[in-house]
């Protein structure tokens, strides 16, 4: 068998997404650095960048899911990447002409977030068309592993670019990466079969996805946990650069290095996800990963300047390892569990709640950071993540995730050894 790396279309998807994810990881560090270093933004304004980037899940998430179910996924992905390239390319252009403002950054983050909503829904629905069902877990692990690797390289590259050419250069690199992704996706030959939805109103189609999620105890529990954990993780991440840069006095290059080293935990998590699932069962491995990640987050606010940064690295390493391994397992579960013709609507319905807390987290992190202090806010967010663990109670007695295709009885997910 030729395997995933022998699959030309998967290689193109992987190459394009790895490149664009690297650019996005550079921009994730570069945008706050532009706000802090170039525009002298406040803690609240920096946190608003996170809120703006994720607000589109609340604004357009539900109708986006219904539209993605109606449309071929590849053209949607191409349009989204093209829009993202134009949006983020406008930031260094504005800086070159001296018209870059905090408002400009927030609008760019918002528009980029809209493109990301449509792309994410199309991308997740498209992957099962490219690879056989038995290779789906491996494909998700490779894509998640490359994303984690970009989280290692991205912050460090952003720091180096900021030191050498200024923070805005990292945003330019992000725009270029979307251009590479457009070329790769255009070259993919597979055209998935689109199941036309019934001729019903958009509102009725959206309601169908909402009912599926609300009526399924496993998806409902996972959605509720994701909402609270995303609130904690995103509130933490929204102010971590302020914490490193201002509270601990780290230079931009060191900030990038710290985040890069910490993100290697995600590479480890992606590599171990399949083995953990095979050893303990996918559902049990999912629980173990989350139980490991939550307490590790408590080490972050204990960190200090100099060698004390090691505690921050250890905290982020552990959180990244647990969360990424968990994401590999749960993404594969949803792709095999949900009916394909409803996948976009189910995903957008769950994402509305799960991702809808992220804009709130950005605002909350900024408000708390300026009210009670940045370090104290990290403590609060760490406690919130631990408090979310009881929401996973439906998975407590499961070894394997249940799996069902439309019209078929539950079965076990295949896992690589």
Domain map (residue ranges) of the chain: 4-189+201-412
The per-residue pLDDT for 401 is 86
User: % helix / strand / coil in the chain, to the nearest 5?
Assistant: 80, 0, 15
User: Do the beta carbons of residue 342 and residue 65 sit within 8 Å?
Assistant: no
The per-residue pLDDT for 196 is 58
- What does the alpha-carbon distance between residue 46 and residue 34 come to, in Å, rounded to a whole number? 9
- What does the alpha-carbon distance between residue 63 and residue 61 come to, in Å, rounded to a whole number? 6
* Contacting residues for 164 by C-beta, under 8 A, at least 6 apart: none
The per-residue pLDDT for 81 is 92
Give the DSSP letter of residue 408: S
Main-chain dihedrals φ then ψ at residue 102, nearest 5 degrees = -65, -35
Measuring CA to CA, how many Å separate 324 from each of 24, 167, 274? 17, 27, 12
Q: What is the mean pLDDT of each run of 10 residues along the chain (417 residues)?
A: 73 87 82 81 79 82 80 88 92 88 90 89 82 75 77 73 79 90 88 62 75 84 89 86 83 77 83 87 91 90 84 90 89 80 77 78 82 89 91 88 54 38
Domain 4-189+201-412: top CATH class: mainly alpha
Name the β-bridge partners of 402: 412
- What does the alpha-carbon distance between residue 211 and residue 209 come to, in Å, rounded to a whole number? 5
Tokens of 375: 């370090």
- What does the alpha-carbon distance between residue 154 and residue 170 come to, in Å, rounded to a whole number? 9
The reported pTM is: 0.69
User: Do the beta carbons of residue 399 and residue 283 sit within 8 Å?
Assistant: yes
């Amino acid at each position: 068998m030729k395997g995933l790396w022998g699959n030309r279309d998967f290689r193109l998807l992987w190459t394009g997404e790895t490149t664009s994810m690297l650019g996005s990881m550079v921009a994730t560090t570069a945008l706050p650095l532009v706000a802090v270093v170039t525009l002298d933004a406040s803690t609240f304004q920096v946190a608003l960048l996170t809120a703006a980037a994720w607000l589109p899940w609340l604004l357009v998430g539900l109708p986006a899911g219904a539209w993605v179910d109606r449309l071929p996924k590849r053209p949607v992905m191409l349009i989204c990447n093209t829009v993202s390239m134009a949006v983020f390319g406008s930031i260094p252009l504005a800086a070159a002409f001296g018209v870059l403002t905090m408002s400009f950054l927030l609008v760019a983050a918002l528009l980029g977030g809209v493109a990301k909503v449509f792309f994410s829904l199309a991308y997740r629905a498209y992957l099962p068309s490219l690879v056989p069902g038995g290779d789906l877990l491996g494909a998700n692990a490779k894509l998640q592993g490359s994303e984690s690797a970009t989280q290692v390289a991205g912050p460090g590259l952003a720091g180096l670019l900021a030191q050498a050419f200024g923070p805005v250069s990292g945003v330019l690199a992000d725009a270029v990466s979307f251009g590479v992704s457009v070329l790769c996706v255009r070259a993919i030959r597979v055209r998935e079969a689109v199941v036309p939805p019934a001729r019903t109103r958009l509102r009725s189609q959206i309601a169908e996805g909402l009912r599926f999620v609300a009526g399924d105890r496993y998806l409902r529990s996972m959605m509720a946990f994701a909402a609270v954990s995303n609130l904690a993780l995103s509130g933490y991440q929204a102010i971590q650069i302020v914490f490193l840069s201002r509270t601990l006095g780290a230079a931009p290059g060191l900030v990038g290095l710290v985040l890069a080293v910490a993100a290697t935990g995600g590479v480890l998590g992606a590599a171990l996800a399949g083995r953990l699932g095979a050893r303990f069962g996918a559902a049990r491995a999912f629980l173990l990963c989350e139980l490991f990640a939550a307490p590790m987050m408590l080490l972050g606010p204990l960190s200090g300047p100099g060698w004390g940064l090691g505690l921050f690295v250890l905290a982020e390493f552990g959180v990244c390892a647990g969360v990424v391994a968990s994401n590999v397992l749960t993404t594969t579960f949803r792709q095999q569990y949900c009916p394909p013709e409803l996948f976009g609507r189910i995903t957008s319905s769950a994402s509305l709640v799960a991702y809808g807390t992220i804009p709130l987290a950005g605002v909350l992190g900024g408000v708390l950071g300026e009210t009670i202090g940045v370090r104290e806010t990290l403590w609060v967010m760490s406690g919130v993540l631990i408090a979310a663990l009881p929401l996973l109670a439906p998975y407590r007695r499961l070894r394997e995730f249940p799996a069902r295709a439309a019209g078929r009885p539950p079965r076990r997910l295949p896992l690589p050894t």
